[in-house]
Amino acid sequence: DQQVKQNSPSLSVQEGRISILNCDYTNSMFDYFLWYKKYPAEGPTFLISISSIKDKNEDGRFTVFLNKSAKHLSLHIVPSQPGDSAVYFCATFSGGYNKLIFGAGTRLAVHP
Amino acid sequence: GAVVSQHPSWVICKSGTSVKIECRSLDFQATTMFWYRQFPKQSLMLMATSNEGSKATYEQGVEKDKFLINHASLTLSTLTVTSAHPEDSSFYICSARDHGRAYEQYFGPGTRLTVT
């Protein structure tokens, strides 16, 4: 049973527009969430994170929103650029800060 | 900073042979390293956690005798796939945690293993 769910396998967005990637989780005890970006045949790179004591964290074009009551987080990228095209994974820690569990990923395609 | 390398980046081997994959933290000391596996179009699944100088902790369903992990130093962990079979073909990714930074794991570029 997936504890972190990304229900949209893919997303296509026009360059300059906003990309919104969504993630749901099942365990209200999760208290730290991360977003990773991954290109094919490469390891994930850390993008942005958020602690459960916050509902928003912003870093440049990337903003993560956390809705604890809905157990939902989203990553906003604005404006989207072609170089943002990649697979995005949301992740959280399970059972301490050793085990990262990932969602299934959403493939973002930003087209001109 | 916080660079993790993996070697080799890809390897093809025959069934029944063993393959060793190295994971190195280049500019920091990693007391804990992690090994993940990713099947095509699927998520990353944690296989095992290794702490320097001690035995690795394997996730449920991962055969410890098949996937041997050694974390002999603060900058090197190795994963050996023993008696490889075609179903072991996958993308293996390591990550390392900087000592003192509980939340951050830095990922290597991955190793594509193909067993023929």
Using pLDDT thresholds of 50, 70 and 90, give the confidence band for residue B86.
Answer: very high
A interface with B, Cβ–Cβ below 8 Å: 32, 34, 36, 41-46, 49, 89, 93, 97-105
Is any Cβ of chain A less than 8 angstroms from the Cβ of B50? no
Residue A95 confidence (pLDDT) above 80: no
pLDDT, residue B100, reads: 67
Number of C-beta neighbours around residue A20 at 10 A? 18
Q: How far apart are CA B110 and CA B98, in angstroms?
A: 18
> Do residues B51 and B29 make contact, with C-beta atoms less than 8 angstroms apart?
no
Which residues in chain A are closer than 8 Å to B3, comparing Cβ atoms? none
pLDDT, residue B30, reads: 87
What pLDDT, in 10s, does the model give residues B26-64? 988 888 999 999 988 788 999 999 988 888 999 999 999
Give the percent of chain B with pLDDT over 90: 71
Number of C-beta neighbours around residue A99 at 10 A? 14
According to DSSP, the residues that pair with A8 across neighbouring strands are none
The mean of the pLDDT values for chain B is 91
Mean pLDDT of the A14-32 span: 94
Residue B74's alpha-carbon distances to A46, A74, B69, B70, B86, in angstroms, are 22, 35, 14, 11, 32
Residue A18's alpha-carbon distances to A2, A79, B60, B104, in angstroms, are 27, 6, 39, 27
Determine whether the interchain pair B93/A44 forms a contact, defined as Cβ–Cβ distance below 8 Å: yes
Which residues in chain A are closer than 8 Å to B105, comparing Cβ atoms? 46, 100
What pLDDT, in 10s, does the model give residues A29-74? 888 999 999 998 888 999 999 999 999 999 999 999 999 999 999 9
Is any Cβ of chain A less than 8 angstroms from the Cβ of B34? yes
Using pLDDT thresholds of 50, 70 and 90, give the confidence band for residue B102.
Answer: low
Using pLDDT thresholds of 50, 70 and 90, give the confidence band for residue B89.
Answer: very high
Which of A55, A15, A12, A17 has its CA nearest to residue A33? A55
Which residues in chain B are closer than 8 Å to A100, comparing Cβ atoms? 34, 46, 95, 105
Q: How far apart are CA B81 and CA B70, in angstroms?
A: 12
Determine whether the interchain pair A102/B43 forms a contact, defined as Cβ–Cβ distance below 8 Å: yes
